[in-house]
Chains A and B, each alone.
Chain A
Amino acid sequence: MDISTLPLLSIITFLPLAGAILIAFIPRGSVTATRGAALGVALVTWVFSLFLLLGFSPTHTPFQFVEVADWIPVFGIRYQLGADGLSVALVVLTTTLTWISILASFGPIRERVKEYMISFLILEVGMVGVFLALDLFLFYIFWEIVLVPMYLIIGIWGGSNRIYATIKFVLYTLVGSLLMLVAILGTAFTFQAATGSWTGAFDFESLRNFASAGGFSATFQLFAFLAFFLAFAIKVPMFPFHTWLPDAHVEAPTAGSVILAGILLKLGGYGFIRFALPLFPDAAHTLAPAIIVLSLIAIIYGAIVALVQPDLKKLVAYSSVSHMGFVTLGIFIFQPQGLQGAILQMVSHGLITGALFLLVGVIYERTHDRAIAKMGGLGGPVPVYAAAFGFFVFASAGLPGLSGFVGEFLVLLGAFVYNPLVAAVAALVMILGAGYLLWMFQRVAFGDLSEFLRGLGHHLTDMRPVEMLTLVPLGTLVVVFGLFPGLILDLVQGTVATVLRDVGTGTAINLLFWQ
């Protein structure tokens, strides 16, 4: 069978939906069958995404595997999917983290397993769809689809304060995305008004060409960009829109946190690179200095606040704010190294932070607690766990040789080209990051076994094979991408070149004196 004749992107996108429907018919009692089916579907989806990865040729731009069908022809809205290097990288990250999350949920999730698995698979549909949609309306649909299952996952399977957290999460993101919808409609109307036709009014490539021909006025760009910006900035989340994240993470079940940190935050970064920059380049340039300042604040502020967190999950959540600051910084300096670094950082943050949440989940399952103060001395009774935790702690601290380092370094390098001062400020996170991560690690793993943990007795067991199975792939990828970052950099090289061509390379600005 020739793979190229298959509608590969639609298969990857909707296979989880088919799986969800299938699971709906499995009787409620057979939990094992439900879990097995969910894992099976996720794995098959993952395999298909690997076909996509192998079939994709990085040298050939722009979009490959394109599928087009008319949907609402009156307004030129089409069902249109396509992949470039950036999409492929993030789709594979999504499918990988999804099966790992489902596997990691086997133990912790014992109630309403069926609904849980269905939610997770539908979540995958939304996430993959966002990364593949080339029609703005379709993109918006997928964007909102993501919200629903995540709302349920936190709201049903979450912790004690889950309702507050999930409503905050949904309302907050909804505010952003509704503004984005307005901007999408405005963009389409402007296009239609200028060309006199609805054809291509929602099509990304025709809009991009329209934009690079100067179709959008400066004022319109500014408002439309701000609307997109708000949607994406909330998702990333950028300072000061980040406060929903710690709450959501703390209440979400482990796998929910993994997907939240691993993929959902990347939707924002992806949106910036895919839509906001190419469609509104002038506005992007106008606002870039302000966004860079916000990114720097996020990087430093997130790290400082992480220092004083009493809860493991909150600490990792604030570290995400800091790490994602590198992504937005890398994007808005408009330098090739910066953009490549931002993309690498997205993938690497997904792997590392996903793993950290899994590890927090492992200890939570045994102790039903996440308070750092109650931990201590885990190196003795659970050495494998402590070693795995240490590995990902250092990966998160940007240890060279692991994936986090290259992304951060490239962003810093781009920032240095843009303005050495920006790089100097961002580089301070090397100290702060080591500070909060090592302090946490010391309090969790070093010292004598704490009173609280000693009370658990034999319940405090080391890693189970299933848990190893979820972490080993992530650890392997962290090492592989650390030693061979070219695997991702080559993949996204075309995307980076195209985006920078559309938006234009940034000129160095002296931030101290910008007006």
Chain B
Amino acid sequence: METLIPLIPALPISGFVFSALFGRRIQARFGKPAASLVPVGLIVAAWAIAMVVAYGALSHAEPFGETGHGVTLWEWIPAGSLTVNAGLYVDALTAILLVVVTTVGMLVHIYSIGYMGHDPGYWRFFAYLNLFMFSMLLLVLADSWLVIFVAWELVGLCSYLLIGFWYRRRSAALAAKKAFIVNRVGDVGFALGIMAIFVNTGTLNVRESIEKLIAPDATLAIPLVVVALLVFAGAIGKSAQFPLHVWLPDAMEGPTPVSALIHAATMVNAGVYLVARANPIFGHAPEAMVVVASIGIFTAILAASIAFTQTDIKRVLAYSTVSQLGYMFAALGVGAWVAAVFHLFAQGFTKGLLFLDSGSVIHAVHDEQDMRRMGGLAKKIPITYWTMLIGSLAMAGIPPLVPFFSKDEILAGAFKNGFLVVWLVGFIVAGMTAFYMFRLIGLTFWGTSRVDPSVEPKIHESPRSMTIPLVLLALATAVLGVIVGWPLDGGLIHQWLAPIFEETIAFAGHAEQPFELFGIDGALVLASVTIAVLGIVGAWRLFGVELFGLRLGGQPERVRELSARLPFLYRASLNKWWFDELYDLLFIRIGGRVAAGLWWFDRVVIDGTVNGTGTVAATAGRGLRRIQTGRVQNYALGITLGLLVMAGSYLLIVGR
């Protein structure tokens, strides 16, 4: 393990260095496949190693045991009382993330071979992807807050580079910048949180500091709830929660494999991972937990409401991602820790699948992303269609697909731990999710084609390098739930993660409630499945359906009528509740005025004073020059006067 664990991040970073140095020349000389050989190969190798490590950690085998196993690399910062080691640590929580990150990452790499095949920046794309894999793996492996922060910023950098990958597009450049800066807002909080942890405990090691923070006799300079909320600020930024959610939909400007890997399956989950990692801190600060749950569930319904009316296929999925991340935070906040991580695991595969599917759709209709110019694609791109259907059913929460299990555990957790509002909103969001997912399926795959006639004959299924990852991810979405989530009251995932959250759950002291399939739990499952089905049926009524002989046309006039009847809600959803406009006003217009004003102040007031002093001195010099007349009498007069003044002042001051 001493060599295997460091290899997991080492392989992708060496792939990055290799591609950055030689990628361009290899691509020019030997063609694109050659340029992808090393970066993809290394990721496959990293995946294999990660599987070995994760297997050991999840089965709690030696040397991991229940608490995990660490490797120290070198002393990064030796600064007085502060020493920060560059070290890695693997426990069950890290292992779950390793599985998601390396598996989805590997499939996205393979998918990109085909998807990016026509792009001249091919080598650059793989270099960035490798750098991202390194950063993301470092994020989940790091055992020091500061190293986590380093990785945290590095994934932000990769996100910037990949959103802005098509740098000639102004919208891409703007979206990249927006993502980085909005994330930085959260990062300020996270950085301050790390400092607060250091001030409280004198260490930045994750486990040591947590132990000291929650020790019963701990005297804290900064209260635990402040620490927790500062750390949570970082999570809000990275996981695109209200009020920092605005960057993620714009991030869809990046190539679709990037949206799948970074902006759906891995990086945006980093915030959830962070809170889960710091679970004892949050668990011992119940006020912070309430904030986490509130922000999470509010984001869930806010984003779901926006997803209703978006017409860009990737934006619907992006808002869906934001909404599902909100679910995870709600789960964390109500103390359903395992369910939150389970949902992360489930969404990693399902959302990754859906985004890759959307990429395949976009590829098929020649870079069209607007669903109003799609329709009737089911027959033409069958693999994409069937895999996306599985993904959408999964998102809707239909058993036995994997998100059904995780979402159900979240709702049950909220209900049983007494957060009835969270449960109710989550319940409504479940129905909304089913609705907008099948609106998407209906608009894209069913009904009559609205594709541009010039593109229509050229629609084709994607190459095998793209469809194989789709099939594999669909398979994972279909079976993983039963494997890790069954039985409902204590599947494998509970056995894996139990030691991580044991102490926190015990501290919260929620009464141990038995699982009753023919009681409350069964009722909750029934309720959430029912509302999911209602959502699906509602979407079918409005947007049509063609499935197993069931055929029903869409009713665009009903849609228009409904929108007209709810003008405010419709416009709010369409305009994303005007957050972009608000931020533009506050930070670009007003902020810009402030900056321009300060610059004026700098030139006119500060520099004006400096130059004014200079001018006064020069003028005074010119004036004083007249005194030097060269006449002795004048000088004598001056000396006399001076003497008188001096003597007078001497008498005045000393003589008193």
Contact = CB atoms under 8 A, between A and B. Distances in A.
| Binding partners A and B | yes
A430 B79 contact: no
Interface string B591-609: 0101110110010001100
Interface residues of A, number: 56
Given A243-B606, A399-B157, A380 B168 contact: yes
A460 interface: no
Interface centre among B157, B592, B610, B614 (most CB of A within 10 A): B610
A446 B164 contact: yes
Contacts of B196: 416, 420
Nearest to B173: A446
Given A412-B191, A416-B199, A490 B78 contact: yes
B641 interface: no
Contacts of B602: 243, 305
A225 B75 CA distance: 38
A483 B76 contact: yes
A447 B167 contact: yes
B188 interface: yes
Q: Summarize B's interface: helix, strand, loop or mixed.
A: helix
A329 to B, nearest CB: 14
Interface string A394-431: 10000111000110011011001100100110011011
A427 B189 CA distance: 9
B78 A489 contact: yes
Interface stretch (A40-48, A433-441, A470-478): A433-441
A496 B185 CA distance: 32
Contact of A427 (B80, B149, B192, B595): B192
A17 B251 CA distance: 56
Contacts of A244: 610
A307 interface: yes
A486 interface: yes
A446 B81 CA distance: 44
A442 B173 CA distance: 6
A400 B154 contact: yes
Contact of A340 (B80, B168, B172): B80
B546 interface: no
Interface stretch (B176-184, B431-439, B499-507, B561-569): B176-184
A305 B595 contact: yes
A439 to B, nearest CB: 7
Contacts of A484: 74, 76
Given A243-B606, A427-B188, A336 B154 contact: no
A401 B156 CA distance: 13
Size range of the interface on B?
35 or more
B21 to A, nearest CB: 12
Interface string A328-354: 000000001100110000000000000
A4 B41 CA distance: 53
Given A304-B594, A435-B181, A486-B77, A416 B192 contact: yes
Nearest to B80: A336
B229 to A, nearest CB: 13
Nearest to B222: A420
Contacts of A447: 167-168, 170, 173
A489 B614 CA distance: 42
B647 interface: no
A263 to B, nearest CB: 23
A274 B601 CA distance: 34
A405 B194 CA distance: 14
Contact of B595 (A304, A336, A340, A448): A304
Contacts of B82: 337, 410, 413
Contacts of A301: 598
A199 B177 CA distance: 61
B153 interface: yes
Closest 4 A/B residue pairs (Cβ): A400-B150, A446-B173, A336-B80, A416-B195
Interface of A: 168, 171-172, 240, 242-244, 301, 304-305, 307-309, 336-337, 340-341, 377, 379-380, 394, 399-401, 405-406, 409-410, 412-413, 416-417, 420, 423-424, 427-428, 430-431, 434-435, 438-439, 442, 445-448, 483-486, 489-490, 493, 496
8 contacts: A171-B614, A305-B598, A336-B81, A340-B80, A399-B154, A409-B146, A447-B167, A447-B168
